[in-house]
Amino acid sequence: MPQALHEQLTEPNLLLAVDGVTVDFDGFKALNGFSLTIDKGSLRVVIGPNGAGKSTLCDTIIGRVRATNGRVVFKGEEITYLPEFEIVRRGVCRKFQTPGVLPTLTVLDNLMIAGQKDRSWRRSFGLRQAPEEKEKIEKILETVGLTDRSHILAGELAHGEKQWLEIGMVVATDAELLLLDEPTAGMGPKETSKTADLIRGLGGQHAVLVIDHDMSFIEQLNGRVTVMHQGQFLKEGSVAEIRKDPDVAAVYLGRAAD
Ligand SMILES: Nc1ncnc2c1ncn2[C@@H]1O[C@H](COP(=O)(O)OP(=O)(O)OP(=O)(O)O)[C@@H](O)[C@H]1O
């Protein structure tokens, strides 16, 4: 990292700092002294070969996996050992590869439930929608391109639409940091392009950390890229810089780009 972390921690724009984190699974280091910082409202893409530690990184940020060394700092406060629900409450939300929508509810209901602050689903059903809530959900529907599908049951959506709905649900939580794990899994080129547009549109309001393998998607996202290898930081740069980096080519792109 170009600047010492303790200096960066005082920067007002800093949202997340992963500081020398090691995750040890019975002697195997899935993360090995890994560091990364993310600014408010910024887009970061994390790539790396299979087993590089990308999912473990997200698991550690959100408190599902515990660091054996190092720390995670979010909005200036250490969250390394907080329970997952507390980290979520502070403004981190994660979307997994498989859509986790509620199939028997409409698109609109899925978004409304995701947007409820107290996350009490039963109570959510009984609540009337406040005007500002309605406006917020309408904006999200537009952002994820599902305005015309708002009254369709989520289970009837196409695969790509389910993924967009789930991105919308993550956005509805108002989390400042969104973790998106392979948001284009199972999508064709058109849906992938739309997903890139959608995620780029979240910039400014949310910081987004995207894990993905698809180089065409990563190019369309055009965010800053961090490359991981064997649980360690390998490189960081623009897509163009990463593309031509020989170390990256050796461990990842050389193999993936063929
Ligand atoms: N609970 C666990 N116990 C033991 N080893 C684990 C555990 N979770 C992950 N690993 C190992 O840690 C390494 C990193 O896994 P991780 O899933 O973070 O990689 P990844 O970069 O997300 O890979 P992929 O691109 O294939 O999803 C892998 O070798 C994996 O087998």
The domain segmentation of the chain, as residue ranges, is 13-91+177-190+205-257, 100-174
Q: In ligand 1, which atom is closest to the CA atom of 30?
A: 12
- Per the rule left: phi > 0, alpha: psi between -120 and 50, beta: everything else, 20 is left
In angstroms, what CA-CA distances link 3 with 38, 207, 239?
Answer: 13, 20, 21
Whether the CB-CB separation of 229 and 49 falls below 8 Å is answered with: yes
Fold for 13-91+177-190+205-257, please state it. Answer: Rossmann fold (3.40.50)
Query: What integer pLDDT is reported at residue 122 of this predicted model?
Result: 45
The alpha carbon of 46 and the centre of ligand 1 are apart by a number of angstroms equal to: 14
Task: Give residue ranges with CB within 6 A of ligand 1.
Answer: 25, 28, 30, 48, 50-56
What are the tokens at 251?
Answer: 């461990």
In angstroms, what CA-CA distances link 29 with 6, 35, 110, 186?
Answer: 24, 14, 38, 29
pTM assigned to the model: 0.88
Residue 55's pLDDT band, with cuts at 50, 70 and 90, is: very high
The alpha carbon of 53 and the centre of ligand 1 are apart by a number of angstroms equal to: 6
First to last CA, the chain: 30
Instruction: Note the pLDDT tens digit of each residue in 115-170.
Output: 876 545 545 555 566 777 888 999 999 999 999 999 999 999 999 999 999 999 99
Output the residue whose Cα is nearest ligand 1's atom 5. 25
The alpha carbon of 58 and the centre of ligand 1 are apart by a number of angstroms equal to: 11
Output the residue whose Cα is nearest ligand 1's atom 11. 30
In angstroms, what CA-CA distances link 14 with 201, 204, 210?
Answer: 20, 13, 18
Name, in order, each residue with C-beta under 8 angstroms of 15's C-beta and a sequence gap of 6 or more.
38, 39, 40, 42, 74, 75, 176, 177, 207
Q: Is the ipTM of this complex over 0.85?
A: yes
Output the residue whose Cα is nearest ligand 1's atom 26. 50
- Cα separation, 207 vs 199, in Å, equals 10
Q: Report the candidate in 235, 245, 231, 183 with the shortest Cα–Cα distance to residue 54.
A: 231
Across the chain, mean pLDDT equals 88
